[in-house]
Amino acid sequence: MERNTLETVLGAVVLLVAGYFLYLVYSQTNVGAEASGYPLELRFDSGGSTGIGTDVRIAGVKVGTVTDQHFDPQAYQAVVTIEMDYSVKLPKDTSAVVTSDGLLGDNYILLNIGGDTEMLAPNERIRNVQGAINLADLINKFVVGTDSGGASN
């Protein structure tokens, strides 16, 4: 009888710890958080390294999130919609670069703030964008002296 009580108490402790862990994960990842920003559009020639939920950062601090991504068959570009925090106002000449946290880190969109006095309005487009650098092409250029298309430098 004493063993059954001990097993029951231990099981309850395990369930409480598991519940706390799930709460912690849920609260830290902002799962289920409602949208609290304004949308902006970016168009990449190679935006495949981003996806829904990818961070948008300025100076290393998250200020937005990728909310949509689709292909434009007329322009042959990846169209990425980001949602920026309302407290962040961006000049019209802001640029965006897809970069990563180190060699094997996650990709994110880094915004470089411009100096324009006019600010981007909701649903406008950031025009100066650069997609992710293809690591295989970079290594191939360094080792062989050509890009993946076979053209020499």
Ranges of H-type helices in the chain: 2-28, 135-144
Q: How many residues comprise the chain?
A: 153
Residue 98 near residue 131, CB atoms below 8 Å: yes
Residue from 89, 73, 74 nearest 38 by CA: 89
**Cα distance between residue 129 and residue 125, in whole Å:** 10
Give pLDDT tens digits for 54-76.
899 999 899 999 999 999 999 88
Q: What is the pLDDT of residues 25-58, one digit of tens each?
A: 776 665 555 557 899 999 988 756 788 888 999 9
Taking the C-alpha atoms of residue 51 and residue 67, their distance in angstroms, rounded to an integer, is: 8
Compute CA distances 141 → 14, 132, 149, 151, whole Å: 54, 16, 10, 10
Q: Which of 105, 119, 93 is nearest to 54 (CA)?
A: 105
**pTM confidence score:** 0.67
Q: Domain ranges for the chain, please list them.
A: 1-33, 37-140
Phi, psi of 127 (to 5 degrees): -85, -30
pLDDT tens track for 105-115:
788 899 999 89
CB-based contact 65:53 (threshold 8 Å) = yes
